[in-house]
């Protein structure tokens, strides 16, 4: 009994240390410092900070539960939780949040970070509430997901980042940093159930649902009318939890099966990607895994972090809270190390990595190319490949994907970054409705508002492309194209020529539909925004109402010549995975794999993709990687000619050397015979006298 009392007192003291009013620096950091996995048989605490029992009805709170032993405030400022925090270090450009609405042909790139592309959500009038509801299913919580604010949660001094909807937040609760989204063992955490609760606006209930701790009944999104949490009628509609009594031990604790080092399966929830070809989404059995994963490594072997969760992203020049510890966690740092260093922490060979020889590769390649240019991403093709990602296309969720769903993006775009090195990139072209400003910049409009304003003019129920751009032909239109007999045949039986004719006719009608309906929609928007010019942007083109009467087709739509690449042009972010082995790297086939007229790192092309490009000619806007890299065509031609004849030149040189050697050997042989004969004459004068006799006799 005494031991139990002492234990209770000790736990109470520990709790005071963990959740007291002191600063994060004063709190004790719970750690075992052992290699063995620490088993978490712990008490759960709800959103009111009360211990949860099998009879409780409120959801469990990661902040109140995990925060008893771990510094929640420090963790909440980590890389994955500060995506909405404009004050955090942004680092190298990454994949933006892409607000996609197939009904309005929208794919709007958004970011709170100070990246060189994308729009700040507030520019489009998007509140933290809308951003959390839209993208919270792909976030482990934190940021404005916690009542629309970021800042020092510990002291309560929170910085409001945008206008929010306070009543709705009071019902949904906070989307707290959910530690188990990453640290639960594979199979113990249901990310799809978490997303389902967020869609229902049950933010505070999402962690409980994901761990399958109990059954949740209720749906905040269904609560309409006056929103007053104190109102009894509202309280009756609020979600409740019925906990699974089997989860609780006799002492009321719950076993939470977690690991210190997150498993790769958790990373895949947000970091999967699939390439798309003519057959659609490439299946998994076609793909090879990242070479590091095939070697038995996990994502976090390279992408490490401490308690502050400042993730090592693995690129050179990253600003990090522990810069010395991350040196050998980049490509060059791990495989090459710091030359001449005597510090064991800076030497190559970490985790058994081999040191590449790069035999015969001139050093200039390391000045001009990033490691990823040759080793990362899908095998380079004649044109940039369509791509789907978890963040943009909800990979990992059940459903059928054709591969052409918005947002449209591509991979394998080889262009330079600020360090003047060539990297492989992912790319997309923004498509959105906005307002044209006097300085040629464009301010995007709130996509939800645009849908409301254009619903009667666009008349698209589900898909902008299928219904507006490539509409199904009516029976009389099919007869006009194919004739009455062939028009009755099932479309799967049409030959290629017939399919091409139908496709061409669809594009013609789609072009007309687009110009007429977009023009009408822009006029509807201008009625709402006052004396300003509304525009629609897609694949680098800017469309506006033809008030000047320059539209030869009479549809009331014109294209604006714009030099504003920042708001309309291609946006890119570097890609690093999957890493290919040396045997499948670019250039393994020799110099001419790049230095030839069809060398793909220069000759491969990329075309704008988006809601409108499906009606454009395939060659429209097509550019080569060489032009993106700023390579001089004449210089490249000279290099190609030099390398294309390099093998023949080598044979010529080798043959010339062989002939020269033969000539030299013959010459040396003749010289040696002459010298030998001369030496003989010198040593035997009589031989010279005798040798002249036949000549004299002949003359006689």
In this prediction, what percent of the chain has a pLDDT beyond 90?
42
For the residues 247-258, what does the mean pLDDT come to? Answer: 94
Specify which residues 277 forms β-bridges with.
280
Q: Which residues of 46-75 are buried (b: 16+ CB within 10 A; e: fewer)?
A: bbeeeebeeebebbbbbbbbbbbbbbbbbb
pLDDT digits (tens, 9 = 90+) for 311-347: 999 888 888 888 888 888 889 888 988 777 777 777 8
pTM, full prediction: 0.84
Helix (H) or strand (E) holding 606: strand 605-606
pLDDT at 549: 63
Helix (H) or strand (E) holding 691: helix 685-699
pLDDT digits (tens, 9 = 90+) for 185-230: 988 999 999 999 999 999 999 999 999 999 999 999 998 877 777 7
pLDDT band, very low/low/confident/very high, at 348 (cuts 50, 70, 90)? confident
pLDDT band, very low/low/confident/very high, at 151 (cuts 50, 70, 90)? very low
For the residues 268-294, what does the mean pLDDT come to? Answer: 85
Q: Which residues of 80-116 are buried (b: 16+ CB within 10 A; e: fewer)?
A: bbbbbbeebebbbbbbbbbbbbbbbbbbbbbbbbebe
**Cβ partners under 8 Å of residue 449, min gap 6:** 125, 528
Q: Which of 187, 239, 245 is nearest to 211 (CA)?
A: 187
Structure tokens at 143: 């940021």
Apex 354 CA angle, 348 and 357, nearest 5:
95
Q: Are 551 and 529 in contact (CB under 8 A)?
A: no
Instruction: Tell me, rounded to whole angstroms, the distance of Cα 215 from its chain centroid.
Output: 35
Please tell me the distance from the alpha carbon of residue 259 to that of residue 184, in angstroms, as a whole number.
6
For the residues 598-622, what does the mean pLDDT come to? Answer: 77
pLDDT at 652: 64
Region of residue 400 (phi > 0: left; psi between -120 and 50: alpha; otherwise: beta): beta
For 396, counting Cβ atoms within 10 Å of its Cβ (0-12 exposed, 13-18 middle, 19+ buried), the class is middle
pLDDT digits (tens, 9 = 90+) for 621-647: 789 999 999 998 888 887 777 766 665
pLDDT digits (tens, 9 = 90+) for 442-469: 999 999 999 999 999 999 988 888 888 8
Q: Which residues of 142-179 are buried (b: 16+ CB within 10 A; e: fewer)?
A: bbbbbbbbbbebbeeeeeebbebeeebbebbbbbbbbb
pLDDT digits (tens, 9 = 90+) for 362-409: 889 999 999 999 999 988 999 999 999 999 999 988 888 888 899 999
544 phi, psi to nearest 5 deg? -140, 165
| pLDDT reading at 10 higher than 50 | no
Q: Which of 312, 454, 411 is nearest to 609 (CA)?
A: 411
| pLDDT reading at 97 higher than 60 | yes
Q: Are 243 and 54 in contact (CB under 8 A)?
A: yes
Structure tokens at 204: 């505070």
In this prediction, what percent of the chain has a pLDDT beyond 70?
87
Q: Which of 447, 377, 434 is nearest to 566 (CA)?
A: 434
Structure tokens at 436: 């044209």
Structure tokens at 26: 């004063």
pLDDT at 698: 44
Q: Which of 520, 508, 522, 537 is nearest to 612 (CA)?
A: 537
Highest mean pLDDT (candidates 177-186, 228-237, 329-338):
177-186
């Amino acid at each position: 009994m005494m031991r139990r009392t002492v234990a209770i007192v000790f736990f109470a003291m520990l709790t005071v240390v963990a959740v007291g009013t002191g600063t994060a620096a004063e709190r004790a950091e719970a750690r075992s410092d052992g290699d063995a996995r620490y088993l978490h048989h712990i008490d759960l605490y709800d959103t009111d900070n009360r211990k949860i029992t099998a009879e409780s009805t409120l959801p469990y709170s990661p902040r109140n539960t995990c925060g008893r032993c771990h510094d929640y405030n420090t963790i909440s400022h980590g890389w994955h939780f500060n995506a909405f925090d404009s004050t955090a270090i942004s680092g190298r450009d990454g994949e933006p949040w892409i607000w996609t609405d197939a009904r309005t042909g929208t794919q709007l790139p958004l970011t709170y970070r100070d990246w060189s592309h994308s729009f700040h959500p507030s520019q489009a009038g998007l509140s933290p509430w809308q951003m959390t509801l839209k993208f919270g299913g792909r976030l482990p919580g934190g940021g404005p997901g916690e009542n629309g604010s970021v800042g020092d949660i510990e002291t309560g001094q929170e910085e409001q980042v945008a206008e929010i909807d306070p009543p709705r937040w009071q019902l949904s609760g906070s989307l707290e940093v959910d530690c188990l989204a990453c640290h639960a063992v594979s199979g113990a955490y249901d990310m799809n159930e978490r997303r389902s609760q967020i869609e229902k606006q049950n933010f505070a209930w999402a962690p409980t649902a994901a761990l399958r701790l109990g059954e949740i009944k209720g749906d905040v999104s269904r609560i309409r009318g006056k929103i007053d949490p104190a109102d009894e009628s509202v309280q009756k509609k609020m979600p409740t939890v019925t906990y699974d009594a089997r989860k609780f031990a006799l002492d009321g604790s719950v076993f939470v099966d977690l690991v210190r080092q997150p498993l790769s399966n958790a990373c895949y929830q947000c970091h999967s990607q699939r390439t798309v070809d003519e057959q659609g989404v490439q299946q998994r059995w076609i793909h090879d895994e990242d070479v590091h994963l095939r070697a038995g490594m996990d994502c976090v072997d390279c992408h490490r972090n401490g308690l502050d969760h400042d993730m090592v992203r693995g690129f050179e020049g990253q600003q990090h809270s522990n810069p010395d510890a991350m040196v050998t966690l980049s490509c060059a740092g791990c495989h090459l190390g710091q030359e001449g260093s005597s510090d064991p922490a800076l030497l190559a060979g970490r985790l058994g990595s081999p040191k590449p020889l790069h035999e015969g590769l001139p050093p200039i390649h390391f000045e001009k190319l990033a490691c990823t240019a040759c080793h990362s991403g899908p095998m380079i093709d004649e044109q940039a490949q369509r791509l789907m990602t978890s963040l943009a296309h909800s990979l990992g969720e059940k459903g059928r994907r054709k591969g052409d769903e918005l947002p449209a993006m591509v991979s394998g775009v080889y262009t330079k970054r600020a360090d003047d090195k060539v990297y492989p990139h992912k790319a997309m072209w923004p498509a959105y409705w906005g307002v044209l400003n006097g300085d040629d910049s464009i301010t995007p409009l709130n996509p939800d508002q645009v849908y409301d304003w254009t619903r009667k003019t666009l008349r698209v129920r589900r898909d902008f492309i299928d219904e507006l751009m490539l509409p199904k032909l009516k029976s009389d239109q099919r007869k006009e194209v194919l004739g009455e007999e062939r028009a009755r045949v099932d479309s799967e039986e049409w030959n290629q020529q017939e399919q091409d004719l139908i496709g061409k006719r669809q594009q013609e009608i789609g072009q007309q539909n687009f110009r007429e309906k977009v023009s009408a929609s822009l006029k509807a928007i201008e009625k709402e925004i006052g004396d300003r010019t509304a525009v629609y942007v897609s694949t680098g083109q800017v469309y506006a109402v033809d008030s000047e009467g320059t539209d030869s087709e009479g549809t009331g739509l014109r294209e604006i010549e714009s030099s504003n690449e920042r708001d309309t042009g291609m946006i890119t972010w570097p890609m690093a995975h999957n890493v290919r082995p040396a045997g499948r790297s670019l250039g393994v086939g020799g110099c001419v794999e790049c230095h030839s007229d069809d060398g793909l790192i220069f000759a491969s092309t990329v075309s704008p993709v988006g809601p409108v490009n499906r009606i454009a000619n395939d060659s429209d806007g097509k550019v080569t990687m060489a032009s993106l890299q700023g390579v001089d065509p004449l210089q490249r031609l000279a290099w190609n000619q030099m390398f294309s004849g390099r093998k023949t030149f080598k044979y010529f040189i080798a043959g010339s050397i062989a002939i020269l050697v033969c000539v030299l050997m013959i010459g040396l042989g003749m010289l040696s015979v002459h010298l030998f004969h001369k030496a003989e004459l010198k040593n035997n004068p009589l031989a010279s006298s005798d040798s002249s006799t036949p000549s004299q006799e002949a003359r006689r």
